[in-house]
Structures are given as C-alpha cells and as structure tokens.
C-alpha cells in the first residue's frame, strides 16, 4: 500500500466525512433528521391513504399496546374519533416508507369543545385565546420499535434526553447512525416542526396539550415551553392541561440555539455553524475512541 493510499484511508475527510458533509449541504436530506420524511393530511381529506396508516398506528399503540381504548370497538383495526375530520394530521415515515409516528392538530368545529376539555378543567380566571388562533395537540404516538429502550415514553423521548438533554444538545451530527433507535428524540422533534410550520403559516399561535408533566419537561428541553393552565387529573394516568405560545418559542430558540431556530422556520442555516458543529462532533467522537 503506497503512502497516498494510506493517507486517504487515515484522513477522515477523504474516508467519507466530506461526502456526508456535502450530502447534508446539498439539500438531498434534512440536515438534522436525514432518515425520516413527513407527510400532512389537511382537514376534509378523509379518504387519504396516509390517514388510514395513521389510524392503524394509533390502534396498535392505544388499543393493543397500551390498552387505553377497547380494541373491540374498532373492528377494522383503525382507531378514529369525532375530532379526526376537524384535524390536521401529521405522519413520520422512514425512507422505506414505513409509518413510525403521528400527531394531529385539532381545531374543533363551531360548538365543539377541544379534546382536553372532556376530561380537564382550567384554572379560575384562565382566558382562552381566539379559537382561530389556537389548536390542540392530540394523538401523539411513536411506533414501539422506534423507541430506544424499555421505559422510554410513548412519544419517543429517551431516558438519556430526559436526564441530559437541552436545546443545546440538539445539533447536526457529522455522523448519524442508520440504526432507527439512534434518532430519539429527533423523530418527535420532526413532528413538532411540521406542526410548527403549519401553525405559523395558518395563523395559529397557541397550542393546547393535555400531557404528563414529565413530557412537558422534556419538551421544554427541546425549546417548547408548555405552561399548565389547569389542575392535574387522572386520564389514562396523570395528565395536566398545558398551553404553549409559539411566539415565545421562537424567541427562546433564537436565544438558545440559532441553528434550531433556523431549522424550525425553514431558513438558511449559516454554513459556518454547520461545519463548526459537525467537525467538532466528529473530532470529539474520534477522541473518545482513543
């Protein structure tokens, strides 16, 4: 083996690092979540094949895995409810086109309550924003095989992120594991980005969500600060109604993680930020191996 060949094999740039870097910059794949794609189903498109796959995933998780709902009530193996036709649905897919996650934004019809209002109350004096400016996050699930370890949340939040995560830890990597289990909580973050972009484009500023406090704390580490608006209740476990202000979210991300702020808003990400972060992470990984 000559010296030139040896140099190429030892040089991380020539051994594949540069090709991954160029691939990220070229726009062929998402810079943060390269191994997932996302689809959206607008209100009224009830015959969408994506929607049928969403209902099947919800049935698998809510009925067969968690037993929150009676499987016998959904003989066709698709979990649906009265809010689906007034919701915008989002689905996450692998590059092999397998659905692995879903969530919806509910904007109830005139005279219809929000889903959380069926089992939660708000604090005295709480004032609802205009209905046109708000939506509720609902039916958020990640496929069981796309959670990292036993004990990780139904929404795909890993224990590592719960213990050590923050907005500063969510950065582009020089190497991204192709192992599906290595992407948590990025799968969840991708679905939240899809909801965020839709909301900003359609005048939605406020999100409601009835969730466990542990999930609210994890989301806050991702930049989403959900504020309790009512007392905790027992609804398939302890949940608390929360609300998030997307204007506050944007300001927070710009302060704490400029990369993430640009990524959420589909803005150009400065090249130097990507290069610095990815090279730094690569060198850190090489150092740990020694």
pLDDT at 85 > cutoff 50: yes
Q: Which of 7-21, 154-168, 196-210, 211-225 has the lowest mean pLDDT?
A: 7-21
Per-residue model confidence as pLDDT tens digits over 23-74? 544 555 677 788 899 999 998 787 889 999 999 999 999 999 989 999 999 9
Task: Let me know: does 154 contact 142? Beta carbons within 8 Å.
Answer: yes
Per-residue model confidence as pLDDT tens digits over 105-143? 999 999 999 999 999 999 999 999 999 999 999 999 998
pLDDT at residue 120, rounded to an integer? 96
pLDDT at 180 > cutoff 50: no
Proportion of the chain in helix, strand, coil states, percent, rounded to 5: 45, 15, 40
Give residue limits of the domains in the chain: 1-30, 31-289
pLDDT category of residue 8 using cuts at 50, 70 and 90: very low
pLDDT at residue 257, rounded to an integer? 77
For the segment 220-228, the average pLDDT, to the nearest whole number, is 87
pLDDT at residue 183, rounded to an integer? 40
Helix (H, G, I), strand (E, B) or coil at 102: strand
Per-residue model confidence as pLDDT tens digits over 149-176? 544 555 555 556 555 555 665 666 543 4
Helix (H, G, I), strand (E, B) or coil at 243: strand
User: CATH top-level class for 31-289?
Assistant: alpha beta
pLDDT category of residue 13 using cuts at 50, 70 and 90: very low
Q: Which of 48-52, 79-83, 234-238 has the lowest mean pLDDT?
A: 234-238
Task: Let me know: does 90 contact 38? Beta carbons within 8 Å.
Answer: yes
Task: Let me know: does 208 contact 137? Beta carbons within 8 Å.
Answer: yes
Tell me how far apart the alpha carbons of residues 35 and 176 are, in angstroms, rounded to a whole number.
9
Token digits for 113? 């309550």
Per-residue model confidence as pLDDT tens digits over 260-279? 888 888 888 777 666 655 56
Token digits for 253? 């991300």
Alpha helices in the chain (DSSP H): 3-10, 18-26, 49-58, 159-164, 186-201, 213-221, 246-256, 258-264, 271-289
pLDDT at residue 278, rounded to an integer? 59
pLDDT at residue 223, rounded to an integer? 80
Tell me how far apart the alpha carbons of residues 9 and 16 are, in angstroms, rounded to a whole number.
9
pLDDT at residue 167, rounded to an integer? 60
């Amino acid at each position: 083996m000559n010296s030139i060949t040896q140099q190429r094999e030892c040089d991380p740039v020539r051994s594949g690092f540069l090709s991954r870097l160029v691939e990220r910059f070229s726009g062929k794949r998402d810079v943060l979540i390269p191994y997932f794609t996302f689809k959206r189903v607008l209100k009224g498109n009830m015959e969408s094949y994506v929607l049928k796959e969403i209902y099947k995933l919800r049935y698998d998780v809510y009925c067969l895995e968690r037993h929150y709902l009676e499987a016998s009530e959904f003989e066709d193996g698709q979990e649906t409810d009265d809010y689906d036709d007034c919701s915008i649905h989002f689905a996450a897919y692998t590059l092999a086109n397998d659905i692995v996650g879903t969530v919806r934004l509910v904007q109830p019809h005139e005279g219809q309550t929000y889903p959380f209002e069926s089992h939660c109350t708000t604090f005295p004096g709480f004032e609802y924003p205009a209905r046109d400016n708000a939506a509720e996050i609902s039916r958020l699930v990640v496929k069981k095989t796309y959670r990292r370890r036993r004990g990780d949340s139904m929404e795909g939040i890993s224990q590592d992120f719960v213990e050590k995560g923050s907005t500063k830890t969510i950065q582009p990597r020089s190497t991204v594991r192709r192992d599906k289990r290595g992407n948590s909580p990025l799968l969840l973050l991708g679905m939240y980005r899809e909801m965020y972009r839709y909301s900003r484009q359609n005048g939605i500023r406020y999100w409601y969500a009835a969730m466990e406090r542990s999930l609210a704390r994890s989301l806050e580490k991702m930049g989403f600060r959900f504020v309790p608006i009512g007392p905790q209740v027992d609804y398939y476990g302890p949940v608390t109604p929360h609300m998030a202000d997307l204007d506050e979210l944007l300001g927070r991300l710009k302060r704490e993680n400029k990369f993430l702020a640009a990524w959420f808003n589909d803005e150009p990400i400065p090249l130097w930020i990507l290069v610095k972060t990815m090279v730094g992470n690569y060198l850190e990984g090489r150092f740990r191996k020694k």
